[in-house]
Amino acid sequence: MPQTYNLTIMNQIGKYILAASALAISTSALSQNTYSGYFLDDYNYRFEMNPAFGNSRNMVSFPALGNVNLAMRGNLNMSDVLYKRDGKTVLFTNAAVSATEVMRKISEINRVGAAPKIDLLAGGFSMWDGYNTVAISLRGDMEAKVPRDFFALAKEGITNRTYDIHDMQGYAEAYAQIAFNHSREIWEVPGLRVGAALKFLIGLGNIDIRLDEARLDLGTDSWRARSNGNVYASVKGFSFKHDTYSPVDGTPYEYVSGGDFDDFSTPNGFGLGLDLGAEYVWNDFRLSAAVLDLGFIRWGQTQWASTDGTREFDTDAYIFNMDNDASNSLNKEFDRLCDGAAKLYQMKEMTPLSSRTHALGATLNFGIDYTLPAYRDLHFGLLSSTRINGPYTWTQARLSANIKAFDVLSAGANVVVGSYMIGFGWILNLNVPYFNLFVGMDHTMGKFSKQMIPVTSNAEFNFGINFPF
């Protein structure tokens, strides 16, 4: 992964939290797995969703192009926070956009996220009474959760007398991974196959933002504020930026206003991960289960900003106050929103932590595959996937039909419903001697902007080139 992409991953988390991920949605991310291929014959990367799955042939990937998934997910769309006014793209805070128009699109809890993964090199081979894979990857995880009241405060300014914001959170992390997978038949139990993958992790960076509380009560000429929040940054070369606010009546004070990265190329953590899986064949049914990413990363020195518990203060900053006469650019609107959020929490820089441990988000996959007796090349599958990751937990169910139309071509189509709404997916998989190409979408893309950015926040494009032998 190029350094500029790594910096984008880690910098996006601030945009997720402060601007409801509008700019993060407009930047492509990479998804971990192609769920549309879970039941597909001859799809080479099924082992990444269940380590018990093996391939019928040895294979090696095209470097960096063996398994590419461009994706984003969430229930907050780009069209919910970016608007067209007078030929310009403006943020939802722009005075030309009415509060009524904005707030009717915003849910009580708004979530966006992505789980980046690039397989730099992967290979699979039969040996040791089973099938084995080795994969070198760059991975990441990005999630954000923004409550409706934050949008209301940012948009309405001082029109309401009270705002109570709870549980606004976000994080981003990136790490390198070397994974070794082995699967085999258990001959003592006919039809049973098991597998496991051991992963060695090198942490590149982690940012964890926990904004637990922000309550504002409007008095005669100032806000009475109550806030509680923490930001942890386990990234080499990271430093907090500071600003000073001078109230009309009171002593000026310094607060954390943002952060800077000098370098992002030095590892700052190490960890381990484990995948476990099983598959059982019974008559025309295949039952499968897997748990992925059981593990942790122990991060090194961590910069820390905090309100130092619950903090109460008076402010006349009139946070997010709109300038109705300004014709601001999108960047200026965004900067103004960030400044307002920093003043809302008024954190101070604390003594850095020597280390901190962060658990990986685990994924559970359960599948049932039924082969049609009258036509063995057609089978139907039901896959349940749940990501267990604290406040960022999500779940989905995917019903698919899969067919091997010719010896060299297999295809699948599916519908999915879950935490990120309803969607339609598909995949085509071409297997000719010594060459494999697959293409598909776990969430079929709908309308695009002029910049070819999906308007909805659920869109995935899957592509890969591999060489079986």
pLDDT digit string (tens) for 302-332?
999 999 999 888 877 766 665 555 555 666 7
Single out the residue of 254, 255, 200 nearest to residue 231, CA to CA.
Answer: 255
Question: What is residue 342's predicted lDDT score, i.e. its pLDDT?
Answer: 81
Task: List C-alpha distances in Å: 117 to 40, 79, 364, 391, 424.
Answer: 21, 26, 18, 21, 22
* Helices of type H across 234-393: 330-345
Q: Is the dihedral of CA 91, 95, 97, 100 positive or negative?
A: positive
Say if strands 303-306 and 223-234 run parallel, antiparallel, or are unpaired.
antiparallel
Residue type present at position 98: S
Q: How many CB atoms lie within 10 A of CB 157?
A: 17
User: What is the radius of gyration, based on Cα positions, of the chain?
Assistant: 24
Task: Give, for 73, the enclosing helix (H) or strand (E).
Answer: strand 68-74
Would you give the DSSP letter of residue 217?
Answer: E
Q: Can you read off the two tokens belonging to residue 196? A: 């496991």
pLDDT on residue 233 = 92
Q: Locate tokens 């991310």: which residue?
A: 29
How much is the pTM?
Answer: 0.85
The CA distances from residue 67 to 116, 121, 130, 451, 456, in Å, are 12, 9, 23, 25, 23
Distance CA 283, CA 260 (A): 59
Q: Are 153 and 241 in contact (CB under 8 A)?
A: no
Q: Residue 264: what pLDDT?
A: 61
DSSP type of residue 453: -
**Average pLDDT, consecutive stretches of 10 residues, N- to C-terminus, the chain (469 residues):** 38 39 35 84 93 95 89 80 82 85 90 82 96 92 87 78 86 92 96 98 92 84 86 90 79 84 78 98 97 96 93 76 56 72 86 93 96 94 94 93 92 92 91 95 72 64 92
Rounded to whole angstroms, how far apart are CA atoms 47 and 17?
34
pLDDT in tens, 20-73: 333 333 333 344 678 999 999 889 999 999 999 999 999 999 999 999 877 778
d(CA 361, CA 359): 6
Around 392, how many Cα atoms within 13 Å sit in the side-chain half-sphere?
25
Please name the amino acid found at residue 162. Answer: T
